[in-house]
Amino acid sequence: MKEIVKTNGLTKKYGENLCVNNLNMTVTDTSIYGFLGPNGAGKSTTLKMLLGLVHPTKGEIDIFEKRVTDKNRISILKDIGSLIESPSYYGHLTAKENLKICQTLLDVPSSNIDEVLKIVRLDKQQSKKVSAFSLGMKQRLGLAYALLSFPKLLILDEPTNGLDPAGIHEMRELIRSLPQKYGMTVIVSSHLLSEIDQLADNIGIIANGKMMYQGTLSNLHDTDPSKTLEEIFLDLTGKEQSL
Amino acid sequence: MIRLLKCEYLKTRHCFIFPTAFAITAICLCWCLYGDVDDEIIKYGWRMFLYQFPLVNAIFLPLLSMVIASRLCNLEHKGKMQKLLCCMEKRGKLFDAKLLYGLGIITVCVVLMWAVTVIFGVVNRFLGPFPIKLYLLYFIFTLIPTVVIYIFQHTLSMLFKNQAIAFFTGIIGEFIGIFSMFLPSLPFLRRMVLWGYYGVLQFVGLFGWTKESRYENAYFDLMPIDWTFFCVLICAGILLYLIGRYLFCKKEV
């Protein structure tokens, strides 16, 4: 299977603090990759490095089988949608006006705006100022930004943060439908095993910046059938409080 | 770049950036031009303006630069937009587009101030022909320091989320700039700070003024232009732009 994302020895150091340590990550085509780890494990930093928002101290990143460099970064990113940490928005503008800015920047058809607003179910609130949105609505707007160009790869960093149970369910269903409907590959990060369990085809578990496990959930379970997935995850991460 | 400038325009809708800029310009013009036009003003008007206005410019134009740069950049910080935009476009281009857009607003305000001043002189029939060469020089010597100050403010506002840093630095610089104009015996002071260059590039002086006779024997005359420091200012502008752009491109979001 085609490898959409492949990192080789990816490392990020802030002073003496090793945030991501020699990380080798492989994400295959049209799959959902769950990136799991406790808070502060290095998930967001890794995803930011994939997007070029943070410069790696060491290591290589290949996306769509191309080595990412400063020169080709933007042309590769044109095919990537992202939602990192909290959603981005201009509060004084409406949802539609917000998306119009990105549509202009990405140079994609303006019909995409209405389409993504429908997908994230914000079409009825498109004329409302974003500052008046609830956190869940802002999160959905963030997803709309990410989907705007119907990218080949979607990177979502804790997309269910701040959502109520109904919102989490809705978001999960939406993410699950993306590979089949639009042929997208999705990387979702979370610190909740239950969430990733219901979403991902493959998972990567990161703790203290190191990749502790990479593969399918069933294979992870097979490593010790006497234990629950949660127990195996805790053994790997060594941080009970994170769950 | 046109696409990026269009985006900048779309971002600034409903956030009163243009009315704010025009309000500051209007206050500046009122300060300069409000009052009775007596014989003295009609007689010396053209040169008197060139003598008096650099001081008013040193008060209002850095303030205008500070406010516009801060408001434009804060749009990105408030909504955490940088991390999204940096995934869509080269950082250098984002920096340039916002800088150009802000400089466009500033230039429109400076042109407006200049044009209103000229029209005021023509309407009030100031004595002598309109000294177009001097006023073109005045325009350049007003615009260039403002552009350099704007580049500095833009860099600070883009780099720091907390806009108080840009405001605080701008206010301190502005105070030094204004006070340096009252200390002609310390020319190095005004040459050391960007905000003092409205004074450095002032080329009309008041001569013959004494405490006793006051304006009785006073007259306005041309002074030599400090071209060396004009070049220094331009170099400082280019350097600030390059440093600011480099730091923004290196910044982790």
Cβ <8 Å between B252 and A93: no
Mean pLDDT value of segment B151-174: 94
List the single residue in B with minimal CA-CA distance to A14.
B252
Closest CB from A77, A90, A101 relative to B87: A77
pLDDT grade for B222, boundaries at 50, 70 and 90: confident
Nearest CA-CA partner of A148 in A168, A118, A127: A118
pLDDT at A239: 53
Q: What is the mean pLDDT of residues B200-213?
A: 84
Chain B contact set for A97 (CB, 8 A) = 10, 13
Q: Name residue A185's beta-bridge partners.
A: A153
**Residues A203, A175: Cα–Cα separation, whole Å:** 15
| Residue A234 clears pLDDT 90, i.e. is over it | no
pLDDT at B210: 81
| A–B CB contacts, 8 A cutoff, strictly below | 74
d(CA B118, CA B102): 25
Confidence of residue A146 (pLDDT cuts 50, 70, 90): very high
Q: Least CB-CB distance to B252: which of A55, A87, A102?
A: A55
Q: How far apart are CA A35 and CA A47, in angstroms?
A: 9
pLDDT bucket at B170, cuts 50 / 70 / 90: very high
Least Cα separation, residue A128 to chain B (angstroms) = 13
Chain segment A151-197, per-residue pLDDT in tens: 999 999 988 877 788 888 888 888 888 888 888 999 999 887 778 88
Alpha-carbon span A149 to A145, nearest angstrom: 8
Question: Residue B54 and residue B225: Cα distance in Å, rounded?
Answer: 14
CA angle B197, B198, B202 (to 5 degrees): 105
- Other C-beta atoms closer than 10 Å to the C-beta of A139 total 24
| Close Cβ partners of A181 (under 8 Å, ≥ 6 residues apart) | none
Q: What is the pLDDT of residue A172?
A: 86
Residue A241 is predicted with a pLDDT of: 43
Give the minimum alpha-carbon distance from A214 to chain B in angstroms, rounded to a whole number.
Answer: 27
Q: Is A82 on the interface with B (CB under 8 A)?
A: yes
Rounded CA gap, A26 and A7, in Å?
A: 7
* CA–CA gap between residue B91 and residue A75 (Å, rounded): 13
Whether A105 has its CB under 8 Å from any CB of chain B: the answer is: yes
CA distances in angstroms from B206 to A160, B56, B135, B197, B218, listed in the order given: 69, 16, 17, 18, 7
pLDDT of residue A158: 87
Q: Which residues of A72-89 are buried (b: 16+ CB within 10 A; e: fewer)?
A: ebbebbeebbbbbebbbb
- Considering chain A, what is the average pLDDT of its residues? 87
**Pairwise CB contact (< 8 Å): B78 & A107:** no
Chain A interface includes B4 (CB < 8 A): yes
This prediction has a pTM of 0.88
Single out the residue of B24, B20, B33, B28 nearest to residue B56, CA to CA. Answer: B28
State which residue of chain B sits closest to A48, comparing Cα positions. Answer: B253
**Contact list, B250 vs chain A (CB under 8 Å):** 55
B251 touching A (Cβ < 8 Å) = no
pLDDT at A49: 93
Annotate chain A with three-state secondary structure.
Answer: CCEEEEEEEEEEEECCEEEEEEECCEEECCCEEEEECCCCCCHHHHHHHHHCCCCCCEEEEEECCEECCCCCHHHHHCCEEEECCCCCCCCCCEHHHHHHHHHHHHCCCCHHHHHHHHHCCCHHHCCCEHHHCCHHHHHHHHHHHHHCCCCCEEEEECCCCCCCHHHHHHHHHHHHHHHHHHCCEEEEEECCHHHHHHHCCEEEEEECCEEEEEEEHHHHHHCCCCCCHHHHHHHHHCCHHHC
Higher pLDDT, A236 or B121: B121
With a CB cutoff of 8 Å and minimum separation 6, the contacts of B126 are B41, B42, B45, B46
Q: Which of A41-55, A204-218, B41-55 has the highest mean pLDDT?
A: A41-55
A144 and chain B: CB distance < 8 Å anywhere? no
Give pLDDT, residue B136. 94
Tell me which chain B residues have a C-beta less than 8 angstroms from the C-beta of A52: 86-87
**Are the beta carbons of B79 and A97 separated by less than 8 Å?**
no
What is each CA distance from B101 to B8, B27, B43, B155, in whole angstroms?
7, 22, 40, 14
Query: Does A93 touch chain B if contact means CB atoms closer than 8 Å?
Result: yes
Indicate the pLDDT class of residue A242, thresholds 50, 70 and 90: very low
Which of A117-121, B6-10, B157-161 is predicted least confidently? A117-121
Which residues constitute the domain of residue B79?
Answer: 2-30+37-250
Q: Name residue A28's beta-bridge partners.
A: A3
Residue A240: pLDDT band with limits 50, 70, 90: very low
The residue that leads in pLDDT, B41 or B142, is: B142
User: What is the interface pTM, i.e. ipTM, of the complex?
Assistant: 0.83
The alpha carbon of A9 is separated from its chain's Cα centroid by a whole number of angstroms, namely 20
Number of domains in chain B: 1
